[in-house]
Amino acid sequence: MNTLNKLTFAFVGPTSFSEPATAGTDQMLPVLPTGTTLDAVSDSTWLTITGQTGGVVAFSFTANSSASSRTAHITVLGSTIPVTQAGAVYLSISATQATPIFQGGPGVISLTVTTSGPTTSAATVSDTLDSNFTINSAPGCAISGQAVTCTLAAGSTSTTFNVYVSASTSAPASISNTAYLTDSGAGDSVTTGMSTDNITVIAQAPQVDSDFVQLVLSGSVDGGGTCGPGSTLTATDELQNTSSSSTVTNPYAEITQLTGGNMLLSQSADSTSVAPGATVTFTFHIQLATCNTFDLFFDVYGN
């Protein structure tokens, strides 16, 4: 003989909740029968039971201002349901000079957004550069005159936007640059929304080609990807100071010819002081117009 046992109630669930960092409300699925007495309770002040009628437990939660997640519990009909709220996301902006910049030469200004976790909404970086700079390229950003605007999509983590510039031949030794960060959503908090950096521009030094001889020249497409229009390439050229008595300081390579319609984005040297017999390696970051061979000529300057 089969026996049918009558259940006093059926708890449907769910067994846990994940909530955003912002304040809000939520509710459980109905308990059957809907007239069951629930007596739900919360074990935390940030999680409040707001209703328990019709078999439904409703609750609200305050905003979490901490960068860490937190968990509270609702106990109902002998079951304990964890409610985990995500931590707040904090963002800050910094503007820095990534490479040395010489008068008349290229350089890189880096705009870095640091986040405590994936952003819940889009953020915008804006920077209006001094007229002594020409903006050559800013991958991932829009350029309008001297203004650069970069968008950090929702769900992003810390990101750096590089702005490739050239300084005028008469650029002053120090140029102030300020970047701004704004966020469009309530789930993120901007802790540092403005960053100012004094960009150092180095005066053009005397030409010292005769002191150097080329040792090793190499280059490869960045990221190991397939070459194509718009790809970037990093070329390195190792030179030795053949002078028997002169130490060259602040060596700088000025491009005199770059064929194939390619664009120099930045250049840098791995040493600021090259003693007699020592070597210096110049690194050139180049945006390619085509994948054909090209010529790169430069003069070396230094003090």
Calculate ∠ Cα 119-112-20, nearest 5°.
10
Q: Both 164 and 133 in a single domain?
A: yes
How is residue 39 written in tokens? 């007596």
Mean pLDDT of the chain: 89
Instruction: Answer whether 0.85 is exceeded by the pTM.
Output: no
Task: Choose the final residue of a domain: 65, 85, 105.
Answer: 85
Token pair 């053949």 is at which residue?
A: 242
The strand ranges marked E within 12-105 are 17-19, 24-27, 41-42, 47-53, 56-61, 70-76, 79-85, 89-97, 101-102
For CA atoms 220, 225, 230, 232, the dihedral sign is: negative
Q: Both 146 and 175 in a single domain?
A: yes
Q: Both 98 and 136 in a single domain?
A: yes
Q: Both 93 and 151 in a single domain?
A: yes
Contact 270, 210 (CB under 8 A): no
Q: What is the CATH number of the domain that holds 264?
A: 2.60.40
Cα end-to-end distance, the chain, whole Å: 104
Q: Both 99 and 48 in a single domain?
A: no
pLDDT of residue 11: 66
Task: Choose the final residue of a domain: 85, 110, 139.
Answer: 85
Enumerate residues 6+ apart whose C-beta is below 8 A from 185: 119, 120, 121, 122, 154
Q: How far apart are CA 276 and CA 116, in angstroms?
A: 48
- Given a cut of 90, is residue 82 above it in pLDDT? yes
Number of structural domains (the chain) is 3
> Is 22 inside any structural domain?
yes
Q: Both 149 and 198 in a single domain?
A: yes
Q: Both 78 and 98 in a single domain?
A: no
| CA 299 to each of CA 206, 212, 293: distance values in angstroms, whole numbers, following the listed order | 10, 10, 20
The domain in which residue 123 lies consists of: 89-202
Q: Both 231 and 191 in a single domain?
A: no
Tens of pLDDT, residue by residue over 31-66, are 888 788 889 999 999 999 999 988 899 999 999 988
Tens of pLDDT, residue by residue over 164-187, are 999 999 999 999 999 999 987 767
Task: Choose the final residue of a domain: 202, 235, 270.
Answer: 202
Amino acid at 88: A
Q: Both 197 and 283 in a single domain?
A: no
Banded model confidence at residue 238, pLDDT cuts 50, 70, 90: very high
pLDDT exceeding 90 applies to what percent of the chain?
54
> Is 243 inside any structural domain?
yes
> Is 2 inside any structural domain?
no
Contact 187, 22 (CB under 8 A): yes
> Is 12 inside any structural domain?
no
Tens of pLDDT, residue by residue over 109-122, are 999 999 998 898 89
Closest CA to 13 of 26, 30, 32, 36: 30
Q: What is the CATH number of the domain that holds 28?
A: 2.60.40.10
